[in-house]
Amino acid sequence: MLRDEPVDRNTLAEIVAGDIEPGSFVNLGIGQPTLVSNYLTAERDVTLHTENGMLGMGRAAKEDEVDGDLINAGKIPVTETPGAAYFHQADSFAMMRGGHLDVCVLGAMQVSATGDLANWHTGEPDAIPAVGGAMDLAIGAKKVYVMMNLYTRDGEIKLLPETTYPLTGVGCVSRVYTDHGIFDLSESGTVTVKALFGMTFDKLQSESEIEFVDATGN
């Protein structure tokens, strides 16, 4: 797939949603991945997991629905869908760690060619660290997808031969969705480019020492 322009976050969320198999159980990380839920139509019958103890999480609560006892992992009030189930935190993380979720979609600061993920800590000495469920989510599904901008605000590429920030998980990411393209990762470090948005393969290859394989169908 090729597009002339980079895609915006909503378009990217729609693309991710389209790649999730109907009937899947999915955890959407905080931030950009949350947008995916807007494109998961009822017919897709996707069940959302929130790691603070619920399967069948619904949309964000409207003002008159807000219930302090019903929040998501980002501490945002949400709603309940029919067929939902509540459970405690140990059962909830057992569900992730045990590989029962079909897909996790996470944000990232950096991803390596072999699927190493850095998304919790810049490593700056004065930063107060907070990991939450990030390391559990990183290893917490059959497929772990990352959704991020390909470049930092300073123009540095975030898909790297090796990450430089402290790791969240080792070799855990299978696919990366970005505003400039979609990438399948592999243990060997070969990265298959599934789609490019407003960028040529040559331009991409010129920016990185990663061994890219062009599968955009161009």
Residues marked active site are found at: 51
Q: What are the residues whose beta carbons fall under 8 Å from the beta carbon of 185, sequence distance 6 or more?
A: 111, 113, 114, 115, 173, 174, 175, 176, 191
Site for other proteins in 149-178 (CB under 8 A): 166-170
133 vs 137: CA distance, rounded Å: 6
Tell me the closest approach of the beta carbon of residue 147 to other proteins, in angstroms: 21
What is the nearest approach in angstroms of other proteins to the Cβ of residue 194? 26
109 touches other proteins by CB under 8 A: no
Q: Per-residue x/- mask for other proteins, residues 38 to 77, rule CB under 8 A?
A: -------x-x-xxxxxxxx----------xxxxxx--x--
| Count of residues near other proteins by CB under 8 A | 59
Please name which of 216, 208, 7 lies closest in space to residue 111, comparing C-alpha atoms. 208
Residue 89 C-beta: closest distance to other proteins, Å = 4
- 92 counts as binding other proteins under rule CB under 8 A: yes
Out of 134, 159, 160, 204, name the contact with other proteins by CB under 8 A. 134
Whole-number Å distance between alpha carbons of 168 and 106: 11
Which of 80, 184, 207, 214 is the binder for other proteins (CB under 8 A)? 80
User: In a 3-state reduction of DSSP, which class is residue 105?
Assistant: strand
- Binder to other proteins among 5, 10, 23, 200 (CB under 8 A)? 23
Report the 3 state secondary structure along 149-190.
Answer: CCECCCCCECEECCCCCCCCECCCCCEEEECCEEEECCCCCE
Taking the complex as a whole, how short is the minimal distance between the CB of residue 193 and other proteins, in angstroms? 26
Does position 143 interact with other proteins (CB under 8 A)? The reply is no
Q: Comparing C-alpha atoms, which of 168, 167, 157, 171 is closest to residue 209?
A: 157
Give the residue among 104, 123, 196, 130 at the shortest CA–CA distance from 159: 196
Rounded Cα distance, 158 and 4, in Å: 21
Choose between 163 and 216: whose C-beta lies nearer to other proteins: 163
Q: What does the alpha-carbon distance between residue 84 and residue 202 come to, in Å, rounded to a whole number?
A: 47
Minimum CB separation of residue 39 from other proteins in Å reads 19
Nearer to other proteins, 127 or 154 (CB): 127
Binding site for other proteins (CB under 8 A): 22-23, 25, 45, 47, 49-56, 67-72, 75, 80, 82-90, 92-101, 116, 121, 126, 128-136, 139-140, 166-170
